[in-house]
Amino acid sequence: MKMKEYSAWHGAWAAIPTPFRDDLSLDLDALRRHVSFLCRHNIDGIVACGTTGEAATLTQEEKRIVIETVLDAVAGAVPVIAGVGTNDTRTTIENAKMAQSAGAAGLLVVTPYYNKPNQEGLYRHFTSVANAVALPQIVYVVPGRTGCKCQPETIARVALHENIVGVKDATGDMLFATETHRLVSDEFLMFSGDDGTTMPFVALGGIGTISVVANIAPKLMHDIVEMVRQNRIVEARKIHEMVYPLFKALFSDTSPIPLKAMLSKTQLGYGAHLRSPLFAIDDSCIDDFCAPYREWLEEIS
């Protein structure tokens, strides 16, 4: 049932950043240009207001504006899901209802950070959101950002809920991915959330990736996923090795700091601005940082 309903949810999805102007207000024109670029270059889906989108520093109204702007720019070309997770269940539900009213196709719900809930608390958190909002939900496991890890057994347990359709696994741990895949049904959608391990993750049963690198190289990330799914492993490995420098560069500092630096050197009209407490790469260093990737960046418009 779930796989039939959400069969389009596969491939390379871009976890998009939120562009800001010099005064740190939303830059919706740059956002539209970026989304248009992605849709023209084989992106399979878009995630707005996630970690890469600096959701923690956006107001709920700003999140609504971002979601609606992305949906307008996409114009139905690809599915758009919204990051709504917080470390408070009630606020997460409020965000989820807002995303539903804005028109999002689904929800990305991160494990609560700081509170450090146990596995029963995680189960109740995710199912409370799923009970409150009838949109497909993807559980987001990113312990490096949250200090909280939803175990495979808990993922399998929440997967029994009809509205919880997948997981974004950003652990980078292939044993974790294997154990999760063993415990869930084939209908459950497993997305990698760690760019550098996308290729082995898909080989182990993943359906795709929710990717930072796809903001720079959407077609290549799409090709890696689809080639692995078609058992074209040698071809996929060649592209994986081609993109490897981007894997390293885009995670050389806290994401999305390097990504915004790179996008500021494209024709999309992006600034490298981030909201505090994140801090942008110094202007005097951006050119040197981006120089090895100039050929990639010159193609983005």
113: tokens are 């950070």
30: tokens are 């740059």
Residue with tokens 């999760």, as numbered in its chain = 180
- Counting every residue written for the chain, the total comes to 301
Q: How far is 148 from 116, CA to CA, in rounded Å?
A: 6
Which residues make Cβ contacts (< 8 Å) with residue 61, sequence separation at least 6? none
Kindly state the DSSP code that residue 88 receives in the 8-state scheme: S
Nearest to 172 by CA among 145, 137, 154: 145
Q: In the annotation, is 168 catalytic?
A: yes
Point out the catalytic residue in the list 2, 63, 123, 168.
168
Contact 139, 158 (CB under 8 A): yes
Point out the catalytic residue in the list 140, 260, 265, 270.
140
Residue 241: CB atoms within 10 Å: 10
Looking at the annotation, which residues are catalytic? Answer: 140, 168
